[in-house]
Amino acid sequence: MIGSGAGGAPIATELALAGASVVVLEAGGPAPLAPLGERIERSFWRVVSRRNAALSVARGLPVFPVIHGVCEGGSTALNAGSAFRLPEFLHREWMERGAPDLTDAFNRVDSFIKVSETADELLGRNGELMLKGLKATGWRGGRTPRNAPGCTGRAVCVLGCPEKAKQATHLSYLPVARSRGARVLLNTVARKITLNGRRATGVEARGPGGESVTIRAGTTIAAGGAVFTPSLLARSGIEAPQLGENFLLHPGSVLAVHFDEPVEMGQPAVPQSTYSDQFLESEGHMILLGSVPPHLTIPALAVTGSPAAIMDHSRTGFWGALIRDEGGRGAVRTGRDGRRRISYKIGGTELARLRQSLVRLAEMAFAAGAQAVTPLYFGSGRRYRSLKAFNAGLPDPLPLRRLAGGSVHPMGTCGIGRTCEGDGRVRGYENLHVSDASLFPTSIGVNPQFTIMALSTAIAAELLS
């Protein structure tokens, strides 16, 4: 098993529970832990300096930084804890493309990561105001489901939960796997999958001290994520249909929502406490609260070039949306030198969805009693005091070169129905499987960790059968 995150840990655990001999290779070290009371800047630089996170850059318009967890637990240790199931309309589409039925797997995952709705006391004023807007519009949505029982709203989920409340895989799955004999080798980087013809035989890796590590295995499973997995396969000489193609992300929109009262985006609260999936299927976007720490509000507002927006920072909440990417314009390619080259470009469909999501956010904001709104992109400038003025003044299409991109949800580069079969097996190869978000046949529009875990669980069931 290569990777200990949402794709690797569940399948490793299920196989270990069934009596298999399992070895998990993890390129990073122990998961980070943000000490109680530590300033967020210090926590951030500690995570960066210890290389618990990796940053890839997808070239294109706009340039997209892509962040990955490189530690025990992978990105599950460094996310906001939001745990949405795969939307039903996509679940049906995926099964038509050859993906397994995930119904039983969803329930199995829930037994490990303990998902529940965000508690009232963790909404924060920003979340309460979004709920007010949801009620006023009548849109579907509510409190975000999260895998963090016992959370007290420290608001530093993405830097390592200081109370170990968030049930990342290093706290939920891997202890169970270890109890059944699985070995987890940290700081061990997979360099190459070994082959005998078209049959995978194991992995060659580099250990913590630079020493060579060779693992011989009856079944090899790559679960390094949608950036690292296709690169590893290509570096190993794997030739499979559309390997590394159809790189998908979730472009995002952000709206600054100005009220006549203080808006608390710090503690006690969680970063993503409220959501609406009213328009996920019909318009291709999901509304999701995007709180940031108070001392980062001013720099975020500064990109708009609006002094008035900056002056109102203490009365401003951040509301956002994830965009379902239609795909086809991104790729992860590996050169002869072994280096990854990532490309990504937003298309006309995604631009239209970004703009429409901002209009929907403004509609909900004014319904919640907002005094004004400001779209967050470079030089957006104006504060709009009505939905009509906002819709008329917002550029159509949005100015591509002034958008600020970024994503923590890479998907699709070994897609089911293209590169891999429904059980994750790489087409044309024996005993070689993929188990991570690179298997996604389409973009999903919601935070992907729950879906990755369910897919991993379903693949484990197929292997055991």
Would you say the pTM of this structure is higher than 0.85? yes
318 to 124, 125, 376, 396, 450: CA distances (angstroms): 12, 11, 9, 22, 25
Cα–Cα distance for residue pair 221/244, rounded to 1 Å: 17
Cα–Cα distance for residue pair 396/113, rounded to 1 Å: 42
Cα–Cα distance for residue pair 86/224, rounded to 1 Å: 20
Cα–Cα distance for residue pair 438/306, rounded to 1 Å: 40
Considering 68, 313, 409, 433, which one is annotated as catalytic?
A: 409
Catalytic status, residue 409: yes
| pLDDT at residue number 460 | 98
- Provide the token pair at 226: 């949608």
61 to 120, 134, 405, 412: CA distances (angstroms): 39, 33, 9, 19
Residue 207: phi, psi to the nearest 5?
Answer: -80, 180
Cα–Cα distance for residue pair 162/145, rounded to 1 Å: 20
- Do 34 and 43 contact (CB within 8 A), yes or no? yes
| pLDDT at residue number 309 | 87
Contacts of 218 (CB under 8 A, 6+ apart): 431
154 - beta bridge partners?
Answer: 269
| pLDDT at residue number 336 | 80
Cβ-in-10-Å burial (0-12, 13-18, 19+) of 111 comes to exposed
Concatenated DSSP letters of 114-178: --EEPPGGGSHHHHHHHHHHHHHHT-S-EEPEES-TT---BS-GGG--TTS-S--HHHHTHHHHH
| pLDDT at residue number 300 | 87
R_g (Cα) of the chain, nearest Å: 22
* Three-state secondary structure call for residue 67: strand
Residue ranges of the chain with per-residue pLDDT less than 70: 48
Q: Tens of pLDDT along 193-223? A: 999 999 999 999 999 999 999 999 999 999 9
Residue 233: phi, psi to the nearest 5?
Answer: -60, -45
- Do 306 and 382 contact (CB within 8 A), yes or no? yes
| pLDDT at residue number 314 | 93
- Do 8 and 1 contact (CB within 8 A), yes or no? yes
| pLDDT at residue number 288 | 97
Cβ-in-10-Å burial (0-12, 13-18, 19+) of 282 comes to exposed
